[in-house]
Structure 1
């Protein structure tokens, strides 16, 4: 499950690697990529239900669910609501919001996550950025504060995402992820009262959310394996696809904890 500002394409490097042993399903969330825009339904529970219905339609009644960035809390909602449908949960650089969030994420709220408050103001960011969506998004794909591995985003991939988000209504729709955080906090407060019992892999990047991914997942799950990826930024699937695929494979194939990862 992808995050922002991306779509299913963020898994382009990992899908061939994981597909040698698994069926891999990468989708566009409601309103993203080639999915239809809806006027409502961008809270994590509703997005998770979209994906559960898709998996049911495809006759995959049980799966390992993997989410990056905002895909992480969507993946959690999927597992928390449909507990018999998920055997293992993997979240990378993203975790569910709850009463625990403000304290843990306070150090990041100003730098580099200053844009959260900007996005949360209803109907504001899309008006300010109208006609300049590409220039604005360019900052995220090229900013070394978010990814530190050179060449993680090729010019062709940057163009792909910028063109996708610049289409009418697409940027505004994507911002609903930020405008439903209060709803998610309320939902997760209730869901967390019954912690997940399935194995959970919580992956943080040294130059991203780091240990906060595991710390957040421990608020909602009993069996959490933390992994910290050294010399890596927020966009792990783009920066370290081979390493992330290896970590996932190790977690799926063993009950032992994968070791923290660092480049050779």
Structure 2
């Protein structure tokens, strides 16, 4: 590409309208199906790393047809949303979602997130529980479960931690992500998507759109800041405090979805979320990879609608009062020194399952 795309290039035409919503000091670009009544139950859709609102195109219309107000947003730093230099920590991202729900005129919402967007769902449900009715996480384990598996499970570590660390160096990561018209994004999708989707026109268009969106000024830097905070905060008091706050059991309904062929986020990491979610339902979707909501949209939408229509399990007041911080097993006890030692060992170990 001869010049960087304009942020407005993600305002793609379709059976939807584009909104500008101000929340938590940031202007967010949001999309919802045209003509959707504002008094319907709100479902907020949060995309993953290297993407933008487009990843929820299938669910947007399907949820609206089912009677919900579905709104997909470009997360902080992505697409046509503002790109401030700071605010990519867990607290601020959860505050963004809390503010978006209020700014859209609702007191609560169901949150649906993929990858990094799913981690925002977990954080918002924990830090702002009053505004979250339910959450659906796609290929996004609970952050404590993911950390545990990345350190203790060699298969998960080789798939997740090694490529995660490559983006930590300033400027070098940005150059890697944007080189050759963001060829990194094409490789990212090719290695994580199912073979059946890779051979479709929908896949080719999706990759092309995400490559273009990554080249929007400052998007590469902002998208990598999510991952840099997640790693660097492990060695700082703010990260320790955040993980301590996340170490509590949620009593709202949780649906965890994973494509059975996902090579990036493995099944055990997703299933482990039940330790932090009293009412988690875990399902694997056949024939899907890391982007299962785009690869198998009908199956994912069906699972989401079934979950939204189900009655939540009753949780007694006594059970909530007895909720206490979850103590990890002794073998998985965490400290910054142990975390750094495991990182050094993972770099020396051969990559592979």
What band does the TM-score fall into relative to the shorter chain? 0.7 to 0.9
Whether 2:32 is the aligned partner of 1:16: answer: no
Whether 2:196 is the aligned partner of 1:149: answer: yes
SS of the equivalent of 2:210 reads helix
TM-score (norm 2): 0.67
Q: What is aligned with 1:162?
A: 211
Residue 114 of structure 2 contacts residue 137 of structure 2 at CA under 8 Å; is this kept in 1? yes
Q: Alpha carbon RMSD of aligned pairs, Å?
A: 2.3
In 2, distance between residues paired with 1:110 and 1:32? 27
SS of the equivalent of 2:185 reads helix
Q: What is aligned with 1:194?
A: 248
Q: What is aligned with 1:244?
A: 300
Residue 156 of structure 2 contacts residue 266 of structure 2 at CA under 8 Å; is this kept in 1? no
In 2, distance between residues paired with 1:41 and 1:116? 20
SS of the equivalent of 2:49 reads coil
Residue 204 of structure 1 contacts residue 213 of structure 1 at CA under 8 Å; is this kept in 2? no
Whether 2:223 is the aligned partner of 1:178: answer: no
- Name whichever structure is richer in strand by fraction: 2
Q: Runs in 1 of length 4+ with deviation above 4 angstroms?
A: none
Q: What is aligned with 1:45?
A: 91
Query: For residues 58 and 231 of structure 1, do their structure 2 counterparts lie closer, same or farther at Cα, with a shift above 3 Å needed?
Result: same
- Name whichever structure is richer in helix by fraction: 2
Flag structure 2 segments of 5+ consecutive residues without an equivalent. 1-45, 314-353
Query: For residues 186 and 17 of structure 1, do their structure 2 counterparts lie closer, same or farther at Cα, with a shift above 3 Å needed?
Result: same
Structure 1 window deviating more from structure 2 (33-42 vs 126-135): it is: 126-135
Whether 2:155 is the aligned partner of 1:110: answer: no
Structure 1 window deviating more from structure 2 (107-116 vs 164-173): it is: 107-116
Which residue of the other structure, out of 65, 88, 102, is the alignment partner of 1:56? Answer: 102
Deviation at 1:131, TM superposition (A): 3.8
Deviations 1:48-104, CA, capped at 9 Å, x for gaps: 211211111111111111111111110011111111111111111012322524346
Q: What is aligned with 1:100?
A: 148
SS of the equivalent of 2:71 reads coil
Deviation at 1:188, TM superposition (A): 4.7
TM-score (norm 1): 0.87
Number of equivalences: 256
In 2, distance between residues paired with 1:180 and 1:8? 22
In 1, distance between residues paired with 2:92 and 2:82? 15
Deviation at 1:170, TM superposition (A): 1.4
Residue 93 of structure 2 contacts residue 120 of structure 2 at CA under 8 Å; is this kept in 1? yes
In 1, distance between residues paired with 2:207 and 2:176? 21
Deviation at 1:41, TM superposition (A): 1.0
Highest CA radius of gyration, 1 or 2? Answer: 2
Structure of greater relative contact order (alpha carbons < 8 Å, 6+ residues apart): 1
Whether 2:266 is the aligned partner of 1:218: answer: no
Q: What is aligned with 2:325?
A: none
